[in-house]
């Protein structure tokens, strides 16, 4: 596969139709299949393509987090870090008013499955694509990367995050196309987290049965269901989101925006929660340590003795 074919395979979902960006930044549907010359013109800056995220079969090959704000790249970098903790690679692209965070899939999946899987990872104030499930028409489109934005007249690069801020991955279109050939794609997960509420009961004494075979904090964490343990303290919705219980990191001493997220850890016993305001996360053990204001040794002793309530 050459670089142009790789680019098309990565970013063009629906092949039987596409859109062109107008000078005011909006889009108009073309009404015919996309062909290679359209993509070559896009990369040459002649016109700018918008691709419908959901293809003609109701499937998606990528997801995009879109932050249109001055601090958009910073916010998306925080999301990127949390996806990385969960074992998912993603890629930052600068945009006119912020940025896009792309998650490329190893195989296409239904739009509804993709939304059930990754939409819970999207913080308030950031848009998530696909915005619709399959079967609801064409759905939303997104500007295909590396084209010239018709309103600003600029190209916007993919970037990596350095201590000094965002740095372009390459200095030319051709170099970026070569870089795109090496991107990693995420294997889709098609299950969704169960709904857990604060009313679920939890007996720490019963968790002592895991110690005989584990013996370490990491192994103990791996034996727990984070939705159950943390759901004992935080009212979580069906997407694993709720108000952060660590109010001292929020304005007015409490969180009122569902800034707290629980997710399946990328590795057994690893990070499984994150607060987007605090920009802090950790394991089940870390959550209990913060919540009960205990040092690690004291918490571990109480868990082992079954005296934690």
To 10 degrees, the CA torsion angle through 16, 182, 272, 70? -70
Question: Residue 308: what pLDDT?
Answer: 60
Whether this prediction's pTM lies above 0.75 is answered by no
Q: Which domain holds residue 144?
A: 3-180
Q: Are residues 105 and 249 in the same domain?
A: no
pLDDT of residue 24: 94
Whether residue 197 lies inside any domain: the answer is no
Mean residue pLDDT of the chain comes to 86
In a domain, 188, yes or no: no
Residue 37 phi/psi, 5-degree rounding, is -65, -30
**pLDDT of residue 207 exceeding 70:** no
For the ranges 110-124, 125-139, 194-208, which has the lowest average pLDDT? 194-208
Residue 165 and residue 225 in one domain: no
Where does the pLDDT of residue 282 fall: very low under 50, low under 70, confident under 90, or very high at 90 and above?
confident
Task: Flag whether 217 is in a domain.
Answer: yes
Looking at the domain assignment, is residue 189 inside a domain? no
* 229: CATH: 3.90.580
At residue 251, the pLDDT reads 81
pLDDT band with cut points at 50, 70 and 90 for residue 209: very low
Does 158 share its domain with 218?
A: no
The answer as to whether 187 is a domain residue is no
Domain boundary among 180, 195, 227: 180
| Same domain, residue pair 160 and 250 | no
Q: What is the pLDDT of residue 204?
A: 46
Residue 34: which of 56, 46, 51 has the closest Cα? Answer: 51
Give 19 or 274, the one with higher predicted confidence: 19
Q: Does residue 10 have a pLDDT over 80? A: yes
123, 23: one domain: yes
pLDDT at 85: 75
pLDDT band at 205 (very low <50, low <70, confident <90, very high): very low
In a domain, 19, yes or no: yes
Residue 195 maps to a domain? no
Are 175 and 236 in the same domain?
A: no
- What pLDDT digit, counting tens, does each position of 47-103 carry? 999 999 999 999 999 999 999 988 899 889 888 888 887 788 999 999 999 999 999
Q: Provide the pLDDT confidence category of residue 301 given band limits of 50, 70 and 90.
A: confident
244 and 164 both lie in a single domain: no
Q: What is the mean pLDDT of residues 172-179?
A: 95
Is pLDDT larger for residue 230 or for residue 86?
A: 230
Total domains, the chain: 2
Confidence of residue 19 (pLDDT cuts 50, 70, 90): very high
Residue 143, domain CATH: 3.90.920.20
The model's confidence at residue 191, banded by pLDDT at 50, 70 and 90, is low
99 and 233 part of one domain: no
Average pLDDT over residues 28-40: 96
Confidence of residue 125 (pLDDT cuts 50, 70, 90): confident
Residue 215: pLDDT band (50, 70, 90) is low
Residues above pLDDT 70, as percent of the chain: 90
pLDDT band at 190 (very low <50, low <70, confident <90, very high): low
167 and 212 within one domain: no
101, 229: one domain = no
Q: Give the pLDDT score at 194.
A: 42
Query: Do residue 102 and residue 224 come from a single domain?
Result: no
pLDDT at residue 116, rounded to an integer: 86
In this structure, the answer to whether residues 68 and 123 fall within a common structural domain is: yes
31 versus 295: the higher-pLDDT residue is 31
Mean pLDDT value of segment 131-158: 92
- Whether 154 is covered by a domain: the verdict is yes
The Cα 260–Cα 188 span in angstroms is 23
């Amino acid at each position: 596969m050459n670089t142009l074919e790789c680019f098309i395979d990565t970013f063009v979902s629906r092949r039987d139709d596409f859109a062109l960006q107008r000078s005011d930044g909006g889009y108009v549907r073309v009404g015919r299949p996309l062909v290679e010359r359209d993509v070559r013109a896009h990369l040459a800056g002649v016109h700018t393509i918008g691709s419908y995220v959901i293809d003609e079969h109701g499937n998606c090959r990528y997801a995009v987090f879109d932050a249109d704000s001055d601090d958009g790249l910073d916010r998306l970098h925080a999301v990127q870090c949390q996806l990385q903790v969960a074992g998912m690679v993603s890629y930052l692209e600068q945009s006119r008013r912020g940025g896009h965070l792309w998650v490329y899939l190893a195989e296409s999946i239904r739009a509804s499955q993709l939304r059930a899987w990754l939409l819970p990872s999207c913080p308030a104030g950031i848009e998530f694509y696909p915005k619709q499930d399959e079967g609801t028409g064409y759905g939303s489109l997104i500007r295909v990367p590396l084209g010239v934005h018709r309103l600003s007249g600029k190209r916007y690069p993919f970037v990596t995050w350095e201590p000094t801020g965002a740095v372009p991955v390459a200095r030319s279109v051709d170099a970026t196309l070569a870089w795109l050939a090496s991107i990693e794609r995420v294997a889709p997960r098609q299950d969704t987290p169960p709904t857990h509420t604060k009313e679920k009961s939890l007996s720490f004494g019963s968790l002592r049965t895991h110690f005989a075979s584990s013996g370490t904090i990491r192994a103990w964490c791996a034996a727990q269901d984070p939705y159950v343990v943390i759901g004992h303290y935080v009212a979580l919705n069906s997407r694993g989101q709720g108000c952060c219980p660590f109010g001292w990191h929020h304005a007015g001493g409490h969180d009122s925006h569902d800034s707290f997220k629980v997710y399946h850890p990328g590795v057994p016993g690893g990070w499984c929660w994150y607060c987007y305001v605090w920009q802090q996360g950790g394991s089940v053990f870390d959550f209990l340590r913060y919540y009960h204001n205990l040092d690690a040794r004291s918490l571990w002793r109480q868990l082992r003795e079954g005296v934690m309530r």
